[in-house]
């Protein structure tokens, strides 16, 4: 059993939980994810790691209630436990394998959309802790939905916040900020890392292809076993089949077939809908 040591609602329907998982905390790296299970018969829920404390042996996860399982998860409190907490799964962020010398000469921009801010945070924090301050854009629908702003400000070089409705800081989408930084402010980036809803990653990748900036995205498709056996997380990258759980979750954004990936995600949503109906029976 994996004990929850902290549970808090960050914004409406978005929760942060800190969970005791010593082995995962000891070996995880930014970019990796875990698969959690509430109980013996529970659905396996893949979640990117938002933070980790190797000394305390804890992992922070952030999730949004999108279906029956995440709704049940949101009801857990500090002191409750998860039945399973498997990880770390997937590959660590690509930049971790580069030398610090190389990284210090690289100008990086992270683009975080909504709940996708959670998986961006450990990457920017890791870079900050190694003396590299990357620029970060956070896009949120409204001021109320914005998460981890203070935490990100503490580790980012420059932080640009934008809201779709203009209720806080700038008004507009993350792509508007990228255009402003690159076209109007003359910022030059060697690589952009974009993590958020699939539609955001698609449009960021289309824009950065035009701007000729290499772009990494982190996919969170349907996952079942998380070990490359079931095929649920299949995505097409550069015309080749890849499994997000073992080959990813990070991929070259310019090579992903986003339309196919979004169609598969839609299928998942209807399964979730069925699960909610079952709970209400
Ligand atoms: P959201 O809909 O609030 O979008 C966040 C930001 O993305 C917006 O503020 C906007 O700036 C940008 N955006 C959205 N559509 C865009 C478009 N068409 N063009 C340009 N920019 C656009 O995000 P949310 O509600 O937090 O998203 C939830 C989704 O994020 C879920 O589907 C979840 O699966 C996904 N998610 C993905 C990851 C990941 O690892 N990729 C992690 C957590 C959540
Ligand atoms: Fe089964 Fe990736 S989740 S192959």
Contact (CB, 8 A) for 147 and 115? yes
Q: Answer yes or no: is the C-beta of 63 below 6 A from any ligand 1 atom.
A: no
- Tell how far the Cα of 113 is from the centroid of ligand 1, in angstroms: 5
Tokens of 265: 């995600």
pLDDT at 278: 46
pLDDT reported for residue 274: 44
Predicted local confidence at residue 32, as pLDDT: 92
Total number of domains in the chain: 3
Q: What's the pLDDT score for residue 269?
A: 66
Alpha helices in the chain (DSSP H): 22-27, 68-74, 100-104, 117-129, 149-155, 174-179, 198-211, 244-247, 258-280
Q: Give pLDDT, residue 77.
A: 95
Q: Are 246 and 223 in contact (CB under 8 A)?
A: no
> Is residue 210 located within the same domain as residue 228?
no
Which ligand is nearest the CA of 229, by number? 2
Which pLDDT belongs to residue 39? 87
> Do residue 84 and residue 134 come from a single domain?
no
**Residue closest to 236 by CA, chosen among 214, 263, 209:** 263
Domain boundary among 25, 56, 89: 89
Judge if the beta carbon of residue 173 lies within 6 A of ligand 1.
yes
Let me know whether 101 and 201 are in one domain: yes
What CATH number has the domain bearing residue 160? 3.40.50.80
- Whether 204 and 177 map to the same domain: the answer is yes
- How high is the pLDDT of residue 266? 77
Same domain, residue pair 267 and 169 = no
- The pLDDT score that the predictor gives to residue 136 is 98
Q: Report mean pLDDT in 10-residue bins for the chain, 281 residues.
A: 94 95 94 90 86 94 89 94 93 91 94 95 94 96 96 96 96 98 96 96 98 95 84 92 94 96 77 49 37
Both tokens assigned to 216: 């990494």
76/137 same-domain check: no
Domain shared by 156 and 243, yes or no: no
d(CA 215, CA 26) in angstroms, rounded, equals: 29
Same domain, 113 and 202: yes
Does residue 137 sit in the same domain as residue 226? no
C-beta of 237 in contact with ligand 2 (< 6 A): no
Q: What is the pLDDT of residue 263?
A: 85
Nearest atom in ligand 2 to the alpha carbon of residue 228 is 4
So what's the pLDDT on residue 281? 37
Residue 226's pLDDT is what? 86
Answer with the one of 89, 119, 141 that is the final residue of a domain: 89
- Give residue 18's domain range: 2-89
How far is residue 63's CA from residue 50's CA, in Å, rounded to a whole number? 10
* Pocket perturbation via mutation, ligand 2, pick of 89, 233, 249 by most ligand atoms within 8 A of CB: 233
ipTM of the complex: 0.95
Same-domain status, 147 and 67: no
Single residue among 73, 89, 105 that ends a domain in this structure: 89
The residue whose C-alpha atom lies closest to atom 28 belonging to ligand 1 is: 197
Q: Is the CB of 139 under 6 A from ligand 1?
A: yes
Instruction: Please list, in sequence order, all residues whose beta carbon lies within 8 angstroms of the beta carbon of residue 80, skipping any fewer than 6 positions away.
Output: 3, 4, 7
What CATH number corresponds to the domain at position 24?
2.40.30.10
Assess whether 208 and 252 both reside in one domain. Answer: no
pLDDT reported for residue 264: 82
How far apart (Å, rounded) are the C-alpha atoms in residues 78 and 8? 9
What are 181's two structure tokens?
């930084």
**Shared domain check, 224 and 125:** no
């Amino acid at each position: 059993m994996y004990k929850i040591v902290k549970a808090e609602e960050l914004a409406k329907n978005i929760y942060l939980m800190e969970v005791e998982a010593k082995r995962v905390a000891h070996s995880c790296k930014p970019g990796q994810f875990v698969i959690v299970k509430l109980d013996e018969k529970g659905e396996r829920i893949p979640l990117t790691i938002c933070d980790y404390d190797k000394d305390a042996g804890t992992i922070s996860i952030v999730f949004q209630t999108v279906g029956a399982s995440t709704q049940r998860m949101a009801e857990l409190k500090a002191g409750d436990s998860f039945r399973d907490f498997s990880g770390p799964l997937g590959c660590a962020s690509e930049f971790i394998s580069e030398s610090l010398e190389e990284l210090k000469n690289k100008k990086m921009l992270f683009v975080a959309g909504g709940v996708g801010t959670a998986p961006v945070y450990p990457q920017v924090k890791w870079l900050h802790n190694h003396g590299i301050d990357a620029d970060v854009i956070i896009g949120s629908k409204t001021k109320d939905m914005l998460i981890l702003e203070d935490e990100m400000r503490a580790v980012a070089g420059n932080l640009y916040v934008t809201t779709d409705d203009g209720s806080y800081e700038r008004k507009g989408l993350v792509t508007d900020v990228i255009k402003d930084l690159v076209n109007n402010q003359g910022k030059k980036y060697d690589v952009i890392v974009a993590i958020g809803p699939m539609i955001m990653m698609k449009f960021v990748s289309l824009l950065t292809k035009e701007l000729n900036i290499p772009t990494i995205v982190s996919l969170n498709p349907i996952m079942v076993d998380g070990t490359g056996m079931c095929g649920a997380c299949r995505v097409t990258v550069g015309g080749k089949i890849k499994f997000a759980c073992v080959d990813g979750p990070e991929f070259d954004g310019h090579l992903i077939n986003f339309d196919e990936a979004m169609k598969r995600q839609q299928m998942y949503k209807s399964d979730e809908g069925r699960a909610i109906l079952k709970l209400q029976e």
